[in-house]
Amino acid sequence: MSTTVPRLIVGLGNPKDSYHNTRHNVGKRFVEFLAKGAPLTHQSRTAEAYSLSIGGSVPVTGCLLTCYMNESGPCLKKFIDAEGFSAADLLVVIDDFMIPFGSLRLRSEGSAGGHNGLKSILETLGLEDIGRLRVGIGPVPPGEDPADFVLKPFKSSERDSLSDIFKIMEEGLRSVFAHGYSKAMNVINKQHLLT
């Protein structure tokens, strides 16, 4: 298990306004939430990055990729190679339809778990010990294809809760910066945000 703390928070999602409010873009929207008003430090065809003020003494960058979800790995590699980051610096924020809306799962390593964006990153970088924060968007209604479900907008009640969830996620990140993954996981992974 990684003992480092992340320096690069990457929120995954699809480009174009038509995807903005979909469940699949919740990771990207969280980093947009963190980056609101933050200085832009990098802009290219594949990524834009912001200097975030959430790490205390740890300099933290928020990264938004401009590619589609399943192309995340090559886009991210171009960015980290250009900016001098390593895989150990990464924390990837993604949606997860297997866990309930309002729940979080923080891990410092592991498989992609069926998420195409994370799969692309792990395959491109050739390793699995990359931090990830899964944001619950489930459950998938009975009989519905998960691939269709993740590309639908949040329900209005869910959409109204997102800003509160993002604030709690931000506090969770502060715990990672202050205490490392192990202690932060003990707090974040036991918490159901809507209870």
The residues annotated as belonging to the active site are: 24
Q: How many residues does the chain have?
A: 195
DSSP letter for each residue of 27-87: HHHHHHHHHTTPPEEEE-SSEEEEEES-STTS-EEEEEE-S-GGGHHHHHHHHHHHHT--G
Q: Which amino acid is at 86?
A: S
Quick one: how far is CA 125 from the chain centroid?
Answer: 17
Coil, helix or strand at residue 150: coil
Give the whole-angstrom CA distance, residue 15 versus residue 28: 10
Main-chain dihedrals φ then ψ at residue 126, nearest 5 degrees: 75, 30
Based on the number of CB atoms within 10 Å of its own CB, is 101 exposed (0-12), middle (13-18) or buried (19 or more)? Answer: buried
Main-chain dihedrals φ then ψ at residue 97, nearest 5 degrees: -80, -5
